[in-house]
Amino acid sequence: MTTAEPPVPPSPTSPRGGVRRRQCALALAAAAAACLAPVAVLLAVLVLAPSLLPRLLLRPHHVVPYVATAELRLLAFDPAASAVAYNLSATLRFDSPCLYCTWRYAELRATPSYAGQKLGAAAELPEITQRRGSDSRDAAWAGTQRVPPGRRARAVAAALAREEAEGRLGVRVAVSTVQNGARSDFACVLSFPAASVPRRSGSGAAAAAVFDGGRCVDAVPREI
């Protein structure tokens, strides 16, 4: 049997009182944070806006190139030599951004890569001074690119095997140019039907896989 005792009121120093005070303090802190957060955001906007707005509104306008067409006449990896043999050409098109302006593309370069491995050196293309309409530049790359044996070589071989199974081979072309004085970089993905890509040089007269074209995208330099 237990004897009923009157309940003891919690003293200020009792653990329960401490818990309540801590809860109170937490609630107060949460309320203060809730009030201050919008103020902090407002301050951040006020501080950053003058530097961000012009960049957003007056973003250096640049023309994104377009791959009009491309042909892949050879793409093969030789594991014994740890080298990729390639023969690729592409026509890059630049459409004028305005009716009555002069647009200048200087230092125009295009570099192909496969599975992160650059294929040869950049093709340096003649610069363009455009008044209206569109201008094109043809680029061609052919040769044998040695791939460092090990991780790099395995990555190239694995990408080839995977893409052949999937049916499309993707070659990237990094395009860089200086448009009216502003540097711009793009990545163009050229997608070819894997079955029609010759695997050996000289196999078949003019055998080539064709890419029907597509727009390039903005890229960070040397990202690919």
Ligand X SMILES: *[C@@H]1O[C@H](CO)[C@@H](O)[C@H](O)[C@H]1NC(C)=O
Residues that bind ligand X (CB under 6 A): 73, 87, 142, 201, 206
CA distance 196 to 87: 13
CB of 190 to ligand X, least distance (A): 15
Q: Give one DSSP letter per residue of 135-184, joined into a string.
A: EEEEEEEEEEEE--TTHHHHHHHHHHHHHHHHTEEEEEEEEEEEETTEEE
Q: Please, which residue, 88 or 147, has the CB nearer to ligand X?
A: 88
Contact 122, 98 (CB under 8 A): no
Kindly give, in sequence order, each residue whose CB lies less than 8 Å from that of residue 149, ignoring residues fewer than 6 positions away. 82
CA 76 vs CA 70, 151, 163, 193: distances in Å: 17, 18, 12, 14
CB of 58 to ligand X, least distance (A): 44
CA distance 164 to 10: 76
Q: Please, which residue, 17 or 143, has the CB nearer to ligand X?
A: 143
Q: Please, which residue, 138 or 218, has the CB nearer to ligand X?
A: 138
CB of 186 to ligand X, least distance (A): 24
CB of 193 to ligand X, least distance (A): 17
Strand 123-125 and strand 128-130: pairing?
unpaired
Q: Please, which residue, 73 or 172, has the CB nearer to ligand X?
A: 73
Q: Please, which residue, 91 or 180, has the CB nearer to ligand X?
A: 91
CB of 86 to ligand X, least distance (A): 9
